[in-house]
């Protein structure tokens, strides 16, 4: 393994998310399907200006019994499991990017599935965990860390021994050796396929169990974000690493901050222990022994510690909904760390997998039904992306405290927030840095083109006139971007339709539509090529297509003149593991090459 760290030379975006302007914060849609996430981006997360969605691991996993954690037992890097397949994942990323919502992918470079047994994974790929054979990658015994682990069980037996923690198996999960060039190459390819599809970053699982120097090399070899997905081409993927550091062990979170952010688990306990004393949270951050603001991803709870994993202490979950609303609002309003909001499902057994039905589509309400909690839709929380995105670049100012567990603060001259943790309404005049005006109370209603659907807050002479209730939404927050005279995003929600718009788009049957774009192609790029931009909600139907004069032209596969492309001009049309028939089904060309770096599946020349 590599012991040294490269602390410089990586773009700032590995620490700072490439959010669309005016968007902020991320939501973890835990165990949602790709199709449901795409719809949520279009109907709720995009209009509400959330910055990103974290998605559950999309790779093929071992089928154990439907538990949530079987998703964290990969057997190949093929994109197929209960959330959807490769095409549905690509469609989700494209649709989310189109409305300004980035995709952060939960990835698992530390290990494969649990040891012992054999079978086929969620995508039909064979594996043998007894002989350490994973032909879907492929990996074999030589790619594992078993020979570097010296415990009698082969598992981690002592967390006080850093070598055990990083070289032995975590609860019998087959540990990869990231110190070899072969494994590094496979992991780089694994992550780069998501960048090619338009993803903007990664939540990296179990980083504590990998050597920091190996991760440094792997992250440093990743591509910049894809320009065809609307990025500038110079931005780096946003990296945040799961490192559970509660103190008392030789491995610390600070070892991993040189090449990305780290999940600050202490934050959960810090805010959870101050639910009834919010005033103590004013200086939360490094003064409390936490990571620096630019090194931390913060959260009130996550999928692990809401189930009793990931450290001790009081963790506030959806079971304490009132406290969760106040703490989540505080987290999204305060300037410490990059915040993530958990969106959960109900469970009675901590191993329990997701409900059998996906959440109901967003229609302006505050829940999901079908066994899902959907905290991100709660009235107090759903507009926090608007607030966070509009106060970017400012710090906390004008901190104020009420007499009954109440706090208020400004974010420079761009935003103001008041949180009522008390037992009665909080009314009065509170100092703020906001300019004079009347603003929509985003904690109580929505902004529209014509004004606000809920109450407003007037600011005059550096004072905000507040009336914060103590009921279902005990928070108020305003931003200079959302005034009572209108101009904010209208809370109208796109309908789900079948097929494409009218005219030439709809006159072409789906089976005849020939993709003129690439994954991540935007409308301007499409029309600039002389093609038609035809958005569609039909899964797998291309949005950028050739006009009728070109549809069906060319060879649509291999051997024709359109596939006569020089090696230097070949643009990758495929994905890891694609075969010739899958390639041609995409309308692309297939030609095997012995030259390294030349794609076998590539776009035709038109």
Select which of 88, 143, 214, 242 is catalytic.
242
DSSP 553: -
The CA dihedral of 304, 310, 311, 316, to the nearest 10 degrees, is -30
Residue 306 backbone dihedrals phi, psi, to 5 degrees: -75, -10
**Whole-angstrom distance, CA of residue 22 vs CA of residue 16:** 15
**Whole-angstrom distance, CA of residue 606 vs CA of residue 603:** 9
Strands 475-479, 415-420: pairing is antiparallel
SS3 of 376, please? helix
Tokens of 61: 């996993």
The CA dihedral of 565, 566, 568, 569, to the nearest 10 degrees, is -20
Select which of 205, 235, 255, 304 is catalytic.
205
SS3 of 267, please? helix
Q: Is 592 a catalytic residue?
A: no
DSSP output for 80-111:
EETTEEHHHHHHHHHHHHHTT-EEEEEE--SE
Pick from 493, 523, 536, 540: nearest CA to 40: 493
Tokens of 147: 């020979």
Residue 411 backbone dihedrals phi, psi, to 5 degrees: -115, 90
Pick from 107, 58, 61: nearest CA to 84: 58
C-alpha distances in Å from residue 228, one per residue of 42, 212, 519, 599: 19, 31, 7, 18
**Whole-angstrom distance, CA of residue 414 vs CA of residue 388:** 10
**Whole-angstrom distance, CA of residue 63 vs CA of residue 53:** 25
CB 58 within 8 A of CB 93: no
CB 188 within 8 A of CB 217: no
Strands 238-241, 201-204: pairing is parallel
**Whole-angstrom distance, CA of residue 30 vs CA of residue 322:** 21
**Whole-angstrom distance, CA of residue 584 vs CA of residue 593:** 16
CB 68 within 8 A of CB 82: no
Pick from 397, 399, 404: nearest CA to 421: 404
E strands, 76-223, are: 80-81, 84-85, 102-107, 111-114, 118-120, 126-128, 173-175, 201-204
CB 396 within 8 A of CB 410: yes
Q: Is 446 a catalytic residue?
A: no
Task: Show which residues are catalytic.
Answer: 205, 242
């Amino acid at each position: 393994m590599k012991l040294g760290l490269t602390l410089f030379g990586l773009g700032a975006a590995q620490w700072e998310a490439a959010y669309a302007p005016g968007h902020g914060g991320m939501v973890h849609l835990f165990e949602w399907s790709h199709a449901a996430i795409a719809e949520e981006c279009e109907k709720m997360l995009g209009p509400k200006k959330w910055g990103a969605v974290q998605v559950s691991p999309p790779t093929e996993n071992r089928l154990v019994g439907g538990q949530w954690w079987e998703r964290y037992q990969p057997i190949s890097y093929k994109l197929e499991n209960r959330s959807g397949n490769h095409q549905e994942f690509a469609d989700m990323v494209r649709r989310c990017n189109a409305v300004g919502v980035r995709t952060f992918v939960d990835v698992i470079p530390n290990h494969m599935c649990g040891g012992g047994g054999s079978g086929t994974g969620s995508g039909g790929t064979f594996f043998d965990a007894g002989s350490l054979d994973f032909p879907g990658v492929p990996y074999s015994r030589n790619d594992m860390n078993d020979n570097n682990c010296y415990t009698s069980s082969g598992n981690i037996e002592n967390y006080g021994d850093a070598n055990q923690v990083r070289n032995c198996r975590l609860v019998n999960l087959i540990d990869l050796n990231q110190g070899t060039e072969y494994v590094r190459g496979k992991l780089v390819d694994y992550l780069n396929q998501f960048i090619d599809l338009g993803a903007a970053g990664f939540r990296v699982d179990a980083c504590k169990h990998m050597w920091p120097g190996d991760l440094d090399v792997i992250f440093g070899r990743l591509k910049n974000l894809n320009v065809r997905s609307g990025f500038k081409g110079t931005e780096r993927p946003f990296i945040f690493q799961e490192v559970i550091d509660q103190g008392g062990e030789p491995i610390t979170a600070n070892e991993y901050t040189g090449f990305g952010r780290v999940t600050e688990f202490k934050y959960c306990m810090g805010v959870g222990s101050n639910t009834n004393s919010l005033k103590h949270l004013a200086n939360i951050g490094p003064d409390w022994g936490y990571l620096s603001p630019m090194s931390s991803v913060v959260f009130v709870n996550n999928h692990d510690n809401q189930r009793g994993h990931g450290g001790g202490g009081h963790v506030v979950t959806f079971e304490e909904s009132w406290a969760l609303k106040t703490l989540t609002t505080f987290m999204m309003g305060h300037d410490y760390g990059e915040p993530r909001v958990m969106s959960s499902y109900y469970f009675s057994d901590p191993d329990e997998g997701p409900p059998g039905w996906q959440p109901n589509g967003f229609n302006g309400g505050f829940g999901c039904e079908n066994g899902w909690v959907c905290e991100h839709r709660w009235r107090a929380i759903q507009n926090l992306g608007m607030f966070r995105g509009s106060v970017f670049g400012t710090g906390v100012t004008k901190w104020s405290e009420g007499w009954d567990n109440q706090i208020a603060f400004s974010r420079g001259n761009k935003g103001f927030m008041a949180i009522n943790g008390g037992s009665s309404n909080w009314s009065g005049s509170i100092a703020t840095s906001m300019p004079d005006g009347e603003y929509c109370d985003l904690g109580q209603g929505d902004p529209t083109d014509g004004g606000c659907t809920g109450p407003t807050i007037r600011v005059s002479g550096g004072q905000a006139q507040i009336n914060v209730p103590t009921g279902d939404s005990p928070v108020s927050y305003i931003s200079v971007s959302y005034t009572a005279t209108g101009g904010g995003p209208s809370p109208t929600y796109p309908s789900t339709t079948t097929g494409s718009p009218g005219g030439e788009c709809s006159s072409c049957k789906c089976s005849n539509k020939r993709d003129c774009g690439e994954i991540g192609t935007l409308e301007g790029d499409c029309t600039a090529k002389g093609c038609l931009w035809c958005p569609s909600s039909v899964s797998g139907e291309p949005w950028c297509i050739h006009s009728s004069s070109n549809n069906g032209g060319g060879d649509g596969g291999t051997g024709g003149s359109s596939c006569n492309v020089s090696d230097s001009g070949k643009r990758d049309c495929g994905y890891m593991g694609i075969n010739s028939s899958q390639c041609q089904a995409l309308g692309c060309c297939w030609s095997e090459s012995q030259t390294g770096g030349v794609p076998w599946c590539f776009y035709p020349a038109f």
